[in-house]
Amino acid sequence: MPVSVFAVPPPKLGESPCEDIPLPHARLILAAALERDDASRWFAAFLQGLRPAEARGLTWDALDLDELTMDVSWQLKALRYNIPRDRALGFRVPKDHEVRYLVDAWHLVRPKTAAGKRIIPLVDPMPELLASWQASSPVSPYGLVWPGTGGRPKKDPEDQADWRSITVDAEIARDDRPYHLYEARHTTGTLLSSLNVPEPVIIRIMGHSSMISTKAYIHVSLDESRLALEQVSTKLLEIA
């Protein structure tokens, strides 16, 4: 009996318990997402493998709709104050990280490493979805692509609630629990692996790093990443 390409081993100690979303259900989620103005947000979760905090921290100046690339080097995070509620005394910035202040405790944060600087190709239908969203999206004074209420940084519970509403519209769920937004990213990784995409390319797209593979993935070309994601797009969008 052939083994499903979506079968994944149990998580190792310290790893996320999240799993991937089976391809038929992923397609139903994307079909439901197309009924929303912000469809690009949910397609990005699958096609770019974005972490939720990366999507919520994405800014329009990080997109190049001519070169068809997305810079996902930054994540949205609320940093703690050095002294509670006393902004004048600054925030607790993680060691070896760069930060860009937005509002209140919200910052864009990235590590000062090669792994923290990540360019991902945009493949169909992302360019069209993003262009459509740019024309109709709420104005954000911080330049956020997918902002929350009033153009402010979108909080994780709000993001998760929107995701849950899409899975309800898609009328799908796992037997024991609903699908988690982060599992869209797991689906990207599983599809890349099942398509026999070379490991260095997967690492570059997913933004992982390790002592063994860091040197390899830094030299992977953008063209190789684009070809890999085009294959993912074809799999996700083809008629079952």
CA angle (32, 207, 141) in 5-degree steps: 65
Sequence ranges of the domains in the chain: 23-237
Contacts of 191 (CB under 8 A, 6+ apart): 23, 231, 232, 235, 236
pLDDT band, residue 17 (cuts 50/70/90): low
Q: Which of 50, 53, 69, 49 is nearest to 61 (CA)?
A: 69
pTM for the full model?
0.83
**Cα 89 off chain centre by:** 32
Q: Which CATH architecture has domain 23-237?
A: Orthogonal Bundle (1.10)
Q: Write out pLDDT tens, residues 201-238.
A: 888 888 865 434 333 433 467 888 999 999 999 999 98
Residues 6 or more apart whose CB falls under 8 angstroms from that of 67 comprise: none
